[in-house]
Amino acid sequence: MAYRRLTHETSRLLKKKLPAAFTVRVRSAQKLDPQYQALCSLEGSGKQRYFLIRISKRLSDEQARDALIHEYAHAVSWGHLHDQQEDHPWHDDVWGVNYARVYRVANEDEEDSFHEK
Ligand SMILES: [Zn+2]
């Protein structure tokens, strides 16, 4: 299940710097419903639970990386509200704050060099 290098590098960086409560697995998806660029879900049960991020193969490398950043924010935001309420909004405030954190970490190198004195 090889996936793109750019996405792979970002995924490694995020897992290292912003670990989620669950193992996060990123896959390149051949047969994703065309209306979605990427999807995420919590799979397995008990201690075997893992967060699965599927990114459509139709996306460009840049789009795939953006999709990963969006979905990874879901991975770090996932909590009891998602588990207990079927209709809990996906893009709530917690997700928004985490999206900003994930975005910063993913683009850290560029920001560092930009602010270097
Ligand atoms: Zn989302």
- Distance from residue 90's CA to the centre of ligand 1 (Å): 6
Look at residue 48 and tell me if it is in a domain: yes
Q: Which residue has the higher pLDDT, 1 or 19?
A: 19
Per-residue pLDDT at 3 exceeds 70? no
Which residues span the domain enclosing 96?
5-111
Residues with CB under 5 A from ligand 1 (ion): 90
What percentage of the chain carries pLDDT values higher than 90? 70
pLDDT (tens digit per residue) in 49-99: 999 999 999 999 999 999 999 999 999 999 888 878 888 899 999 999 999
- Distance from residue 116's CA to the centre of ligand 1 (Å): 33
Residue 99, CB half-sphere, CA atoms under 13 Å: how many? 13
Give the CATH number of the domain where residue 76 resides: 3.30.2010
- Distance from residue 44's CA to the centre of ligand 1 (Å): 20
- Residue 2, helix vs strand vs coil: coil
Look at residue 116 and tell me if it is in a domain: no
In sequence order, the β-bridge partners of residue 5 are none
